[in-house]
Every structure is written in structure tokens, then in C-alpha cells.
């Protein structure tokens, strides 16, 4: 296990140690103002994710590469997710999410692979990286007055940080693609209690855009789609801590021509994925 992964597991462990140590303490004013008009909560999830399907292409004459069948993405990968909420008057919530995704695999090519006019011959040992970290700032308005229930609808601004590399293991051949940009999306969140301690909920962020600006670019003619949807069930043993199991679908992608492309390649790209995650989480509030 890499040192970076160990640090993430340690962070998660410390979160639950802290949570457990205060389960029976007096939570008065722990993460809220005395008048209850402003409250803060933070969530941390740890689990695994995998791909149902994932294909990518760079350059119109390039290979439409199957990451799952040919790129080593047919196994499970570590999953982490961190978010924080600030709620005003039990109705208005601002949410910030950090979602790291950094998948690295090593393979032996079964057939030629063409990426941005660069041909990697069959039999070449390859190091592949698919990094797609994103950061999401959201606003939700809750239509339920009851603080134990939530029906929130709002908007999100997601910032992608894509790093996609194809490299021969001997270091002779390398093609890398980098992309950073904002994407506006719609947000929905629901929660309802089941008895005194248990609850279920759902959270959906999604959007489809086929026009400039809405697709996250001022110039590129790219069609993009995003769907981040989850179902979760949890237990709340106190007023200020809860644990939950989360099942998530993460899918989408983009296809089109970049306006500011530089050689090699003609600027065309096509990238679609269907993934899932299973995680355990904790929330302090």
C-alpha cells in the first residue's frame, strides 16, 4: 500500500476516533451557533469503486480505447470523499465537496494503440493514469421546515482537474492530456428518518450540455454529460454524529473539439465512463 493511501486511511480512522470519543459528551454548541441559525457539518467517506465501462479517444484517427477490457480497470480501486455543509436558518445550505479520482494501471498492449498521432505498438508495456479529481461548490434550498427531513434543490459549480497519461514503461513514448475547467450542474438532495435512530437519503448532481459556456468552456464545441447519484442509509446515535452506508453511481463524459488544441493531435476527444462506489461514511454536525 502506498504511503499516500495510508495517510488517507489514517485520516478516516482519526475521524471516527474523534467521533466516538464525543458520542456521549455534551454537544451544546459543538458545530452550531447558540441560537441555532447557523450550523456546520462535515462528512468523510472511505470505500472502493470500480468501472462498469470506460472508453476514451484522443484525435479523430485515434483508438477508441477500452480501459476496462484493455487498460487494467477491471479491478476495484480505493475511494475517498470529503464534504462540508454550512446551513443557515435550517433552509439554506452551502456545500463544498472534494472528490479525488486517480486511477493508475500497468498493462501490456494486446494491439496497437494510437493516441494523438502517437502509436504505441502491440506488446508495449504501458503505465496509464486516469486522474479526474473534481471540486464542487453547491447551494441548496430545503423545502421542508422540519430539520430532521430534507428536500433540497439547487445548483452546483464543479471544477474538474483532469490528468490523463499514456506512457511506455521504458519512458521513451509519452502522451499526456491536461484540462482544468468549471462545469455548472443541477443538484438534488433528499433525506427522511426511519424511526428514532435510522434514516435514508439520496443525492443527485447532474447536467447535460451541448452548447458553449454551459459545457464548461467559453470556446470549445463539446457535448458533456454528468450524473453523480447516490443512495444512503444511516444511523444517528446522537444529535451530532451519524454513520452511513453509501451506494453511488458516477457516470458521464464528453465529446468534441477543443478550441485551443496544440499538436500532436487535432484536438478531438471522446471520453465516457460508467462507475460505481460503495463506501462507509461518518458525519459530524
3-class secondary structure, 20: helix
Q: What is the mean pLDDT of residues 230-239?
A: 94
Q: Which one has a higher pLDDT value, 225 or 26?
A: 225
The pLDDT value given to residue 46: 97
**Whole-structure pTM value:** 0.84
Per-residue pLDDT tens over the stretch 19-44: 444 444 444 445 667 666 899 999 99
The pLDDT value given to residue 208: 86
The pLDDT value given to residue 258: 75
Q: What is the mean pLDDT of residues 191-205?
A: 96
pLDDT greater than 60 at residue 7: no
Per-residue pLDDT tens over the stretch 116-128: 999 999 999 999 9
| Spatial separation of the C-alpha atoms in residues 177 and 180, rounded to whole Å | 10
Torsion region of 59: left, alpha or beta (phi above 0 gives left; psi -120 to 50 gives alpha)? left
- CATH architecture of the domain formed by 3-24+33-284: Beta Barrel (2.40)
161 contacts: CB under 8 Å, gap ≥ 6: 131, 132, 133, 134, 135, 180
Per-residue pLDDT tens over the stretch 129-147: 999 999 999 999 999 989 8
Per-residue pLDDT tens over the stretch 262-282: 778 788 999 999 999 999 999
DSSP assignment letter at 22: T
Amino acid at each position: 500500500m502506498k504511503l499516500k493511501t495510508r495517510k488517507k486511511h489514517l485520516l478516516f480512522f482519526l475521524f471516527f476516533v474523534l467521533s466516538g470519543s464525543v458520542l456521549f459528551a455534551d454537544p451544546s454548541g459543538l458545530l452550531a451557533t447558540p441560537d441555532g441559525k447557523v450550523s456546520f457539518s462535515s462528512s468523510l467517506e472511505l470505500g472502493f469503486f470500480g468501472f462498469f465501462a470506460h472508453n476514451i479517444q484522443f484525435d479523430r484517427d485515434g483508438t477508441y480505447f477500452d480501459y476496462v477490457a484493455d487498460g487494467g480497470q477491471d479491478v476495484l480501486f480505493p475511494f475517498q470523499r470529503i464534504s462540508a455543509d454550512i446551513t443557515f436558518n435550517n433552509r439554506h445550505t452551502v456545500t463544498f465537496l472534494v472528490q479525488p479520482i486517480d486511477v493508475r494501471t500497468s498493462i501490456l498492449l494486446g494491439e496497437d494503440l494510437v493516441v494523438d498521432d502517437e502509436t504505441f505498438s502491440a506488446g508495449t508495456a504501458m503505465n496509464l493514469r486516469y486522474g479526474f479529481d473534481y471540486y464542487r461548490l453547491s447551494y441548496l434550498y430545503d423545502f421542508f421546515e422540519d430539520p430532521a427531513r430534507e428536500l433540497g434543490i439547487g445548483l452546483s459549480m464543479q471544477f474538474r482537474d483532469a490528468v490523463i497519461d499514456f506512457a511506455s514503461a521504458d519512458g521513451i513514448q509519452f502522451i499526456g492530456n491536461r484540462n482544468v475547467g468549471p462545469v455548472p450542474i443541477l443538484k438534488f438532495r433528499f433525506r427522511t428518518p426511519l424511526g428514532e435512530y435510522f434514516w435514508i437519503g439520496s443525492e443527485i448532481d447532474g447536467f447535460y450540455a451541448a452548447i458553449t459556456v454551459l459545457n464548461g468552456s467559453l470556446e470549445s464545441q463539446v457535448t458533456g454529460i454528468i450524473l453523480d447519484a447516490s443512495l444512503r442509509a444511516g444511523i444517528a446515535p446522537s444529535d451530532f454524529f451519524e454513520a452511513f452506508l453509501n451506494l453511488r453511481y458516477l457516470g458521464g463524459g464528453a465529446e468534441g473539439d477543443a478550441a485551443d488544441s496544440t499538436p500532436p493531435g487535432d484536438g478531438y476527444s471522446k471520453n465516457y465512463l460508467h462507475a460505481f462506489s460503495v463506501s462507509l461514511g461518518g458525519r459530524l454536525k
